[in-house]
Amino acid sequence: MTTLFISDLHLDESRPEITHLFLAFLREEARSAEALYILGDLFEAWLGDDDRSPLTDAVRQALRALVTAGVPVSFLRGNRDFLVGTDFAAETGVTLLPDPCVMVLYGEPTLVMHGDLLCTDDLAYQAFRKQVRDPAWQETFLAQPLPARQAFAAQARAASQQRQAGLIAANTLEAITDVNAAAVEDTMQRFGVTRLIHGHTHRPAIHALTAGGHRAHRVVLGDWYEQGSVLRVSSDGYALTAL
């Protein structure tokens, strides 16, 4: 049996081919998996469980079908869909995980994260993250009418794009938006693990490192902008491949 990990699909109406690829993945390969873990940014944006569309309804139905077929699905919120809530979980049958979360994977303690917490050099983003992850802020935001939430999201997206353009012009985007090596080692040592799986950075790779004086590995999941990316883990090892 194999456990599957994916992240950063950024499902959006503007890229229907990726939605079709994901729905086929749920119908086909995922049906024979031991479990599926989605480590954030399944959606390009999520403004509350009441924000429905044909795309999100199709995803809801496909996830429910997979869970009903006997495959447990766990969901860890990302920086784009941190407002996924209990209504979505109840409707789909997925289990919402905290970020970070330690699981025992075929006998090995493994830390799973979305990955944005590791990007500690991006001070502006970390300040924004702290604000929008505050329960009081979320309660106030979700109490607003959906059009107001949509307007806020559009404004935040425009500001983010402008900031990225500035980082590109200054040739600092790659360094600031990647993980901080010391933060990775400190986090793995704090949780007592030698294997970390995360997404967010869109830089798929398997990195060897040292954490707490022990040999360790950091697996970075790929995004689904142009193709799928899946980590398959079994008792025999793991492989990160494109679909």
Q: Is the bond into 100 cis (omega within 30 degrees of 0)? A: yes
**Which three-class secondary structure string do you get for 97-149?**
ECCCEEEEECCEEEEEECCHHHCCCCHHHHHHHHHHCCHHHHHHHHCCCHHHH
Q: Is 200 annotated as a binding residue?
A: yes
Q: Is 162 annotated as a binding residue?
A: no
Q: Is 80 annotated as a binding residue?
A: yes
Q: Is 160 annotated as a binding residue?
A: yes
- Give dist(CA 140, CA 2) in Å, integer: 41
Please give the radius of gyration of the chain, using alpha carbons only, rounded to the nearest integer. 18
Q: Is 186 annotated as a binding residue?
A: no
Q: Is 207 annotated as a binding residue?
A: no
Q: Is 57 annotated as a binding residue?
A: no
Binding residues, by number, are 8, 10, 41, 79-80, 114, 122, 160, 164, 200, 202
Query: Residues at the annotated binding site for Mn(2+)?
Result: 8, 10, 41, 79, 114, 200, 202
For the annotated binding site for substrate, the residues are 79-80, 122, 160, 164, 200
